[in-house]
Amino acid sequence: MRRAPVNGRGKGERPLGTISRRVSPAVAAALTSSRTRTLLRIVAEARRRLRGDPHRIVYFHQADDPYSHLAAQILDALGERYDVVLEPALVGPPSDTAAPERERLEAFARRDAADVAPGYGLSFPATARVPDRSAVRLAERLLESAIAAGSFARFARRVGDALWSADASGLEALAKETGIADETRTRSSIEEGNRRREQLGHYLGAMFHYGGEWYWGVDRLTHLERRLRALGLARPGVPGAPLVERPVFPDRPPASKQRFKLEFYVSLRSPYTAIVFDRVLALCDRLPVDLVLRPVLPMVMRGLPVPAAKRLYITLDTKREAEDAGVAFGRVADPVGRPVERAFSLWPFARSKGRGAEWLREFLVASFADGIDTGTDAGLRLVAERAGLEWDDALPHLDREGWRDELEGNRERLLALGLWGVPSFHLLAGEGESAYSTWGQDRLWRVEAEIRSRIG
């Protein structure tokens, strides 16, 4: 696609937007810079040495969190590979502000863990249901006892296997084998874990914390392993491949007469959408897939809160994921509110010109990579030109209403799939029957795997 200069203006043109919108991209770029990350890591290691501390990874485990059960399956191997101290801490669920769609989140987590586990060489029962509360309390007491005995890494998987299989007799047998902690002590331990997690700046279970940075479960373990290797902490003979990595597929699948449709649910304020957009387009180019774009309003514009700790983690995590994907990210000019609405007012026009994908893509690039204030006419004009649209033709459509019903319909379709966040994917096969759906830029490999399995 044709690209304009990164700064979005030629010599003599006025800068785009207000002072605050011009300054914020520079701040975001500094915050997400790999140089900043390297400097912070150097400082963290210097402080560790001054204190005389070992290389300590704190792992926050939530007993009834599916992703924690996946993470528990690699703890032993992680400790064997690297010269680190692995310190487990029990925590409870995230707060309502961090998980505003709790029931949907919990249901999707069970489904998602079972979906990705085979590709990661792990296991999670496809039939898992919400664990009985008394079983969760017993599992927590077992885990607290294992922490006290220094056997958590070896024991946590067995507890999770029994819990998620609804094997009450298995949990009772483990209690007889190892003993259980006092209920009061276990509650106190979880409360302390919650406080510590919050003080360090997070809200979820299945989180690894090392030297000031967070790594979510097995999905972000490669980032942590890369850092440990850079510090020279890999033990002799450790394989070069990471413990868990996303499958990679050949460039081209076998020839197929069958075609698929991929519904791609996007938001114009989603950093994860921004860094996966090009990969989705590339997937549709190399596979027999027709792309159907289904934009929705950003969560915060739909009344769902996003706490500061969550926003910060998402921004920093997106940067690491973007670097792995070879995608530019970091100069962020947040388009929340009016910029998003104005962009969507031009969405029907862009689509009518056959440039719908280009319009959404270039808006995301402008907002999350180039730091352009898309709240101004100048900013939107630049996006339009990059997308191959004539600004004079677009102007009559700017700020028109009529697009909201479509986006609300997309949101309702998304909820019907058991999803609510973006980016989300819905694969349709044959005569349009639903074949597969999932959520997250880090699940695109599962979408591809599903397509390839159906091609044969």
Question: With the C-alpha atoms ordered 395, 399, 402, 403, is the resulting torsion angle positive or negative?
Answer: positive
Does 79 reside within a domain? yes
Residues 218 and 335 both lie in one domain: no
Residues 402 and 300 both lie in one domain: yes
**Last residue of a domain, which of 230, 248, 268?**
230
Task: Quote the pLDDT of residue 302.
Answer: 63
Residues 364 and 428 both lie in one domain: yes
Does 424 reside within a domain? yes
**Last residue of a domain, which of 213, 230, 247?**
230
Task: Quote the pLDDT of residue 7.
Answer: 34
Q: How far apart are CA 424 and CA 437, in angstroms?
A: 7
Q: Are 318 and 441 in contact (CB under 8 A)?
A: no
The percent of residues above 90 in pLDDT, for the chain, comes to 86
Q: How far apart are CA 180 and CA 192, in angstroms?
A: 19
Kindly state the DSSP code that residue 303 receives in the 8-state scheme: T
Does 378 reside within a domain? yes
Q: What tens digit of pLDDT does each residue of 101-136 get?
A: 899 999 999 999 999 999 999 999 999 999 999 999
Task: Quote the pLDDT of residue 303.
Answer: 62
Residues 313 and 225 both lie in one domain: no
User: How many domains does one find in the chain?
Assistant: 2
Does 443 reside within a domain? yes
| CATH code of residue 294 | 3.40.30.10
Q: How many Cβ atoms from other residues are within 10 Å of residue 325's Cβ?
A: 15
C-alpha 132 chain-centroid distance: 28
Residues 269 and 403 both lie in one domain: yes
Residues of the chain with pLDDT under 70: 1-23, 300-305
Q: How many Cβ atoms from other residues are within 10 Å of residue 68's Cβ?
A: 25
Does 175 reside within a domain? yes
Residues 206 and 328 both lie in one domain: no
Residues 199 and 325 both lie in one domain: no
CA 220 vs CA 71, 125, 192, 392, 447: distances in Å: 10, 22, 25, 45, 19
Task: Quote the pLDDT of residue 3.
Answer: 39
Length of the chain measured in residues: 456
Does 28 reside within a domain? no
Does 16 reside within a domain? no
Residues 269 and 190 both lie in one domain: no
Q: How far apart are CA 205 and CA 71, in angstroms?
A: 10
Residues 82 and 161 both lie in one domain: yes
Q: What tens digit of pLDDT does each residue of 300-343 get?
A: 666 666 778 889 999 999 999 999 999 999 999 999 999 999 99
Does 89 reside within a domain? yes
Q: How many Cβ atoms from other residues are within 10 Å of residue 125's Cβ?
A: 16
Task: Quote the pLDDT of residue 346.
Answer: 98
CA 286 vs CA 147, 245, 256: distances in Å: 49, 22, 12
Residues 218 and 264 both lie in one domain: no
Give the residue numbers spanning the domain of 321. Answer: 260-455
Residues 275 and 415 both lie in one domain: yes
Residues 278 and 386 both lie in one domain: yes
**Last residue of a domain, which of 210, 230, 250?**
230
